[in-house]
Amino acid sequence: MTNPADHIEIHPVAVFLESQSDPEANRFAFAYTIQITNNGTEPVQLLSRHWYITDANNEVEEVEGPGVVGLQPVIDPGETFQYSSGAIIETETGTMHGSYRMVTGAGESFDAPIPMFLLAPPRTIH
């Protein structure tokens, strides 16, 4: 039997929000967009999220909660769900990764891993 998480493709993209950042106050704001594609054969529902947000000082903020942006979307086979949200860290660069708790149409719960992605202003990482 295959792991349902193997059929979930998660693609994150982050952008620096200069207008909402204040480097002198150690405030660096980022927006991120996540695309979640169901490459499986049955619908899945995203129930909750679990994030690890790490800044350049290795300070880790854990964020857990129901759904994403107030939704617990059902993603049908072959469909993609996309949403955008944001994060604020105290250093110029950092990373995010985590997982989504999901459930299949048959009621099987699983965690779909969110790959690590970089939080950094343009031209800071070579």
Model confidence at 126, pLDDT cuts 50, 70, 90, reads: low
Helices and strands, counts by H and E, the chain:
0, 8
pLDDT reported for residue 122: 87
Cβ 55 vs Cβ 29: under 8 Å: no
- Report, as an integer, the average pLDDT of 3-16: 96
Residue in 86, 51, 48, 82 with CA at minimum distance from that of residue 68: 48
Cβ 101 vs Cβ 50: under 8 Å: yes
pTM for the full predicted model = 0.93
Handedness of CA 47, 83, 3, 60 (dihedral sign): negative
- Report, as an integer, the average pLDDT of 27-38: 98
Q: Is the pLDDT of residue 77 over 60?
A: yes
pLDDT reported for residue 124: 66
pLDDT reported for residue 17: 97
pLDDT reported for residue 57: 97
As a whole number of angstroms, the distance between CA 126 and CA 110 comes to 36
As a whole number of angstroms, the distance between CA 66 and CA 74 comes to 14
pLDDT reported for residue 23: 94
The two three-digit tokens of residue 1, written as one number: 């039997």
Model confidence at 123, pLDDT cuts 50, 70, 90, reads: confident
Write down all domains in the chain, each with its CATH number in brackets: 4-119 (2.60.40.1470)
